[in-house]
Structure 1
Amino acid sequence: MPPIISISGLSKVYASGLHALKNIHLDIKKGEIFALLGPNGAGKTTLISVVCGLVRASSGTVTVDGHEIGADYREARRAIGLVPQELTTDAFETVWDTTSFSRGLFGMRPDPANIERVLRDLSLWDKKDSRIMTLSGGMKRRVLIAKALSHEPRILFLDEPTAGVDVELRQDMWRLVRKLRDQGVTIILTTHYIDEAEEMADRVGVIRKGEIILVEEKAELMRKLGKKQLTLQLQNPLPALPDELAPHGLTLSVDGQELVYTYDTKSERTGITTLLTDLAAAGIPFRDLSTSQSSLEDIFVDLVREQA
């Protein structure tokens, strides 16, 4: 199946000389949730803006659902729903009117049943006649999502959608995202809450200083770059780490009561077995053990630090 979004050789240089995007190559699969991660100023919003036709690229091509964004702008843009990072709504419009108007902007015929369904999914139905100016910040963000979904897009961009919103809205939003994905909608997400990406995404891309430094299936990324730790609580504290255990790269706690062994998934079986054998040979008994695994956030921080 061809990608629903195909980006090739994409660069963006602003008049100030800022090289915001550098030779981006990226394919997004139909029906996936793709998380685009990167530090502030990495180029996430610029990349989304180019794909959505809001910013003109300096070079390269972007194809959206078979339509080139420059040559066939209207068809490409009609396939996309965008939830921007900033709250941008007409304060004096009602929720119903602004959502219906957004649908009309894409040349879609009025469909009150669809607007009602979107508003109910976002718990906005009881606010349909309220003016935007009377809503809370969280409700305004729900309205942005409703506007993005009003024309039934096949692709949905969520640019920091849960920044500064309450836990209830975050949970509602992710339930809706899963429902949309199940209906075949492709979701592209940027977020600073990397735990959300870890829970939701099928694939992860990392961008730094305008360059894509990694694109990987989330499960494979966790398998390849994730690290685990085995913590052993010793029966008797050690004054220092014995020389015979040095090859394992162990860390001894300050009080000498814990040994921490860090390993990757490739060395999991042989490493732990050898370590336990060597501990027994050295006459070091332990009374308990526990394991922990690095999160996607740990991997992201390590990747960005290494590239820096």
Structure 2
Amino acid sequence: MLMIGKGDFRSPDKGGFANIFKPIGMRSTQAVGKVRRSTNFRRVGHCGTLDPLAWGVLPIALGRATRLSRHVLGMDKTYEAVMLCGVSTASDDLETNPVSMVELAPDVQSVVDVLPLFTGNIEQVPPDYSAIQVGGVRAYRVARKGGQVALRSRWVRVDQLKLTAAARVPISVTGEKLQIGNSFDSIDALLVGLKIKCSSGTYVRALVRDIGLRLGCGATLFGLVRTGVGPFTLSNATEIWQLDIAARENYLETLLYPPDVAVEHLPATMVGTEVGTHLQNGRRCMQRQRSLTGIHRLYDSDGQFLALASGENGDWKPELVWQSSE
């Protein structure tokens, strides 16, 4: 993951991506603030919100890498989720209290049978408690005040939706709060483990909600871990305290992913010194091949990432310059 010279990581014209482990209870914006204070980068931003009640992978862009954040945001995601069948909540997770419960949850086979209906390209309405803006206001702010939220459906893609575990649990509601365990008024609910691979923009809470509606019992998200975002995985995630120590001890660069990790899906092309100079100055220049089209990531002869450029009429047109001539 080494990507920039030792000692220059605090420079405002450098940067990379940190694969941050976000714990339960921390907002994504809080994680960004902590990383900013630890590293002294002025420009820091996460590449896709992870709900406070979820934990796991949260890629964060530092410095000039923030200009490539949208490419990470668009990467496929992997999750492990726990679905509670028989309970519905307004937020589609345990942030809010139950609004309905059924006394008889479905059997495991019924869950298995409906999962194929939620794979492939599916239409999904985001949860009311989401960060989507409605009239310039976050939807969750409207929902928390009891307002009506009308969000448009969107097409998302679910590549994998697999049942990994299932267990019956007694649940009840005490003082509007969900309680796990036997009591005189407890009902038999079903906890289901799910492994999910999906496109960017897919809400696991909405997926669980819709599965519950299809089963006729309602369902809410009981637990969620994001295990991967493109090349960023849980197994090599970094905790914020580790990042803080690395910054103070001057080895932060060893924990950062290079900026071009965000665009590895684009074709790579090596260019000569003259072309590289033109690109570094933001100038359009002639291709050697004269036939390449679409956006490419361009490198010099030493393998240094220079720019993103689009091939047009035998020329390179700079779209984003990483290594400038300054």
TM-score band, normalised by the shorter chain?
A: under 0.3
* TM-score normalised by L of structure 2: 0.26
* TM-score normalised by L of structure 1: 0.27
More strand by share: 2
Say which structure, 1 or 2, has more relative contact order (CA 8 Å, 6+ apart): 2
